[in-house]
């Protein structure tokens, strides 16, 4: 990844070690030249009511908005967002077994019982946030990765006995996430640079339908492009800012395989 094409934001979130686990999350966006301006300024218009300082927008008793962003991002990135447990483990830096490894068996259910867990955000709010992500992508800020590090109180206390305080743990978790994102591409393609050049080319026609845009870029016409998209499970009438990363991977495969 190069600094002029990607931006990464990393910060601690969650309620902290006194009220719950330490949670550190990184969001990675592929940013065009125009998108850089969008990324560095404060959100405007209706977006500002859903994206901003989390301390002012969510609270211990109302996490619906934060949940809606997590669900919309998970869906856009092709993660399993059917329930809280699958979404959390889809975003987590560590595997489920590693996260539970140090939990004493007699208290494991206290941290990991999901029988009474359910989403709070309604479908309309999740849909609005998903539309926000589409609009941001259309303006040159396309989210391509999200990763969260979860550090339970037991781990924090263990580190304290070794002479490391909470802030050491926080910074170490941030470092792990950054390295993980750099080493693990968001898509599984043979040529990552070619993939992003391909996506950027399609985004030049973001007001057009995918079938027409790809037909023009590949020089094969919209009919043939539409057929390839349908083979990949993509509706040719969709706009370029709507596919998830997994769908873009499938689109790229359908066109790169023939060299066009």
* Strands, E assignment, the chain: 6-13, 22-31, 141-151
| pLDDT for residue 4 | 47
| pLDDT for residue 3 | 42
Pick the CATH number of 192-256 from 3.30.1330.10, 1.10.3720.10, 3.30.70.20, 1.10.8.100: 1.10.8.100
Beta-ladder partners of 92: 148
Domain ranges for the chain: 6-183, 192-256
The per-residue pLDDT for range 153-206, each reduced to its tens digit, is 888 888 889 998 888 888 889 999 888 877 766 677 777 778 878 887 888 887
The per-residue pLDDT for range 112-155, each reduced to its tens digit, is 877 888 899 999 999 999 999 999 998 889 898 899 999 888 88
Three-class secondary structure assignment of 107-147: CHHHHHCCCCCCCCCCHHHHHHHHHHHHHHHHCCEEEEEEE
Its pTM stands at 0.72
The neighbour count for residue 163, using CB atoms within 10 Å, is 7
CA distance 198 to 36: 19
Q: What is the DSSP letter of 80?
A: -
The closest alpha carbon to 239, from 188, 190, 191, 204, belongs to 204
**Above pLDDT 90, what percent of the chain?**
30
The per-residue pLDDT for range 15-41, each reduced to its tens digit, is 554 556 788 999 989 888 888 889 888
Q: How many CA atoms lie within 13 A of 163 on its CB side?
A: 0
């Amino acid at each position: 990844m190069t600094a002029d094409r990607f931006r990464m934001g990393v910060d601690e979130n969650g309620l902290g070690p006194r009220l719950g686990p330490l949670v550190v999350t990184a969001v990675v966006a592929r940013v065009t030249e125009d998108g850089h301006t969008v990324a560095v300024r404060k959100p405007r218009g209706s977006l500002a009511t859903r994206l901003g300082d989390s301390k002012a927008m969510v609270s211990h008793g109302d996490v619906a908005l934060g949940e809606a962003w997590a669900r919309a991002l998970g869906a856009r990135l092709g993660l399993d967002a059917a329930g809280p447990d699958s979404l959390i483990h889809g975003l987590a830096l560590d595997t489920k077994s590693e996260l539970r490894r140090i939990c004493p068996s007699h208290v494991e259910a206290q941290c990991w019982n999901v029988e009474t867990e359910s989403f709070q955000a309604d479908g309309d709010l999740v849909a609005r946030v998903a539309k926000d992500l589409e609009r941001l992508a259309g303006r040159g800020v396309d989210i391509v990765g999200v990763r969260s590090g979860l550090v339970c109180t037991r781990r924090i206390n263990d580190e304290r006995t070794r002479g490391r305080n909470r802030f050491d743990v926080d910074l170490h978790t941030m470092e792990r996430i950054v390295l993980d994102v750099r080493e693990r591409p968001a898509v599984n393609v043979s040529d990552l640079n070619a993939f992003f050049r391909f996506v950027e080319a399609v985004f030049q026609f973001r007001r057009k339908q995918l079938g027409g845009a790809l037909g023009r870029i590949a020089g094969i016409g919209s009919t043939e492009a539409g057929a390839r998209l349908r083979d990949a499970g993509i509706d040719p009438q969709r706009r370029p800012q709507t596919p998830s990363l997994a769908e873009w991977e499938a689109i790229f495969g359908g066109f790169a395989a023939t060299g066009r």
